[in-house]
Amino acid sequence: MTVNPFRHPAMLALAAVACAAMGAPCAAQAPRARVAGDAVGGNAALAEGAPAAPAAAGAVADHLVMLKLRAGASIAMRDDGSFDARDARGRTDARLSASLTALGVTNVTRGGTVTPLDAAAARTAGLDRWVEASLPPGSDATAAARALAARAGAVIELAEAVGIGGVAADSAAPDDPLYAQQYGLENIGQSLNGVAGAPGADVNARGAWHLSTGGAGTIVAVLDAGVDPHEEFAARMVPGWNVPAGNGQTGNQCSGHGTHCAGTIAATGDDGTGMAGLAWNVRIMPVTVLTGCTGLTRDLADGLVWASDRGATVMNASLQYTVENQYLRDAIAYVMARGGVVVAAAGNGGAAGVAVPARWPEVVAVGALDSMDQVPSYSAVGPQVDCAAPGHRVLSAVGTSGYGLKDGTSMAAPFVAGTIALMRDAAPAFAAPDLVPFLAQTCVDIDVIGTDPRTGAGRIDAGAAVRAARLAAGLGDLDGDGSVDGIDLGVVLGSWGACGFACAADLNDDGAVNGIDLGILIGNWGAAN
């Protein structure tokens, strides 16, 4: 059985390495077992309820190597400038002492700049065994750390260079007049119905937009009650299909539900009108799988297959069913086998459990949050919830030119679908399912510590997810062809100078494309990761 890489241990481990390397917040998530919404008789119900500049990525301090000593071991500097390295039994390691001198180490001092107040916890964590080896400015700390790591034994447990980083660059806020009301994209504590939100309770869209605003090569299928050609994305709609009717009439049938979902995913941003979605340049494929507001699991299955066969790789299903059908599950496996990913609303049954298809491990199950990072009572609870996103009082598109607020896990799922679309643009060498672990590992833990049945791994962080995916794909491979070459060099040179939105060539996230980025690209020349 094909499984959702959100719960695939090996893929999660890969993502953990990537986000840890870049300093992104990582929430570990173990694989877990994969109940029902409020639809009746197997029909569907819509899941809608009542900056400082960092140094180059991979850069290290040239003057410092951190050494973790074995318990009881020590390194001291003698009066003559040589070193005395001893193991826990007091035996001298003359070769290590000589290596420290040969590498140009000028001093060895206690590690860190603060002393932990809880000595017992420091011992348990091994924090009390770190020392710092100082090097002259301009040294190759990475090489020194590698050389000392090779001397690991009775005195040294490990050696490492010290990374340099900082706050990842964000793009400016888009100029869409309704953006200030879109707390899900950027929460600054704005008031909704007289209640102030919690600043930062959002998906960190601006952090993602600096690197990607989505690419036209990605087609996002919205499997719903139809999607109206709203002015925010009408020009980027591709032909769709109405499964129950057997024709191409895909206009909305259910109070603007599908259009609202499509707006969150793909409304054009920074165009001076209306609102902003997550992925401004992706194409939307409307696939109607309901008649009115309800429908059959068979029709959802057929819609998934139809969309996959016509190039959609990200599928948003803000739907909930109560009956499990293998036909639908096999259709989801088909989508995944063809490089697609299915994102679904967890459902609005609250404690009744997670709905179909979100309950299955092949699907990314998304719960809802409000503007204060709280889980609304209707958001489905269960061990199958993978992550959470804003879903309460979400502003998005309705009709062909209007806007409105809607509630529900239906509104949360599009934030995840849109984020995956951004990740595809930033890391084009990855298939959509292979991006899901980076989404999982960069979620912000907001409920009980660790994975929980209300928010899964936590609230998604689009900025961190896009950066983690890009780093794993290989810095400098800007066209996703598996190598860093002259084409990528041309992109960097063509993007030279200050940059804001979709600045993929800004390899160190400092808000500009300059010599640092050129150096990173040249340093990674050849085959990508």
Out of 410, 425, 461, 509, the active site residue is 410
257 carries an active-site annotation? yes
CA-CA distance, 405 to 371, in Å (whole number)? 13
CB-CB neighbours of 28 under 10 Å:
13
Q: What tokens appear for 179 in the block?
A: 């953006």
Looking at 87, 202, 224, 386, which residue is catalytic?
A: 224
Q: Which positions ≥6 away from 441 have C-beta within 8 Å?
A: 12, 15, 16, 18, 19, 24, 26, 27, 28, 29, 457, 468
Cβ distance 40 to 322 under 8 Å?
yes
In degrees rounded to 5, what are phi and psi of residue 31?
-65, 145
Cβ-proximal residues to 237 (8 Å cutoff; 6+ apart), any chain: 227, 229, 283, 284, 285, 286
60-69 vs 130-134, strand pairing mode? antiparallel
Distances (CA, A) of 461 to 185, 394, 445, 447: 10, 17, 10, 15
**For residue 500, what are its two tokens?**
């804001």
CB 230 within 8 A of CB 262: yes
Integer Cα distance of 364 and 317 in angstroms: 10
| C-alpha to C-alpha distance for 414 and 345, rounded to whole angstroms | 9
Q: Catalytic site residue 461?
A: no
3-class DSSP state for residue 488?
helix
Helix axes 462-473 and 432-441, enclosed angle (nearest 10): 120
Active site residue 392: no
Q: Which DSSP string do the residues of 199-217 spell out, in sequence order?
A: TT-S--HHHHHTT-S--TT
Rounded to whole angstroms, what are the CA distances from 260 to 54, 213, 250?
Answer: 37, 19, 14
Active-site residue identified among 8, 210, 257, 392? 257
Return the number of other C-beta atoms located less than 10 Å from residue 208's C-beta.
31
What positions carry a catalytic annotation?
A: 224, 257, 410
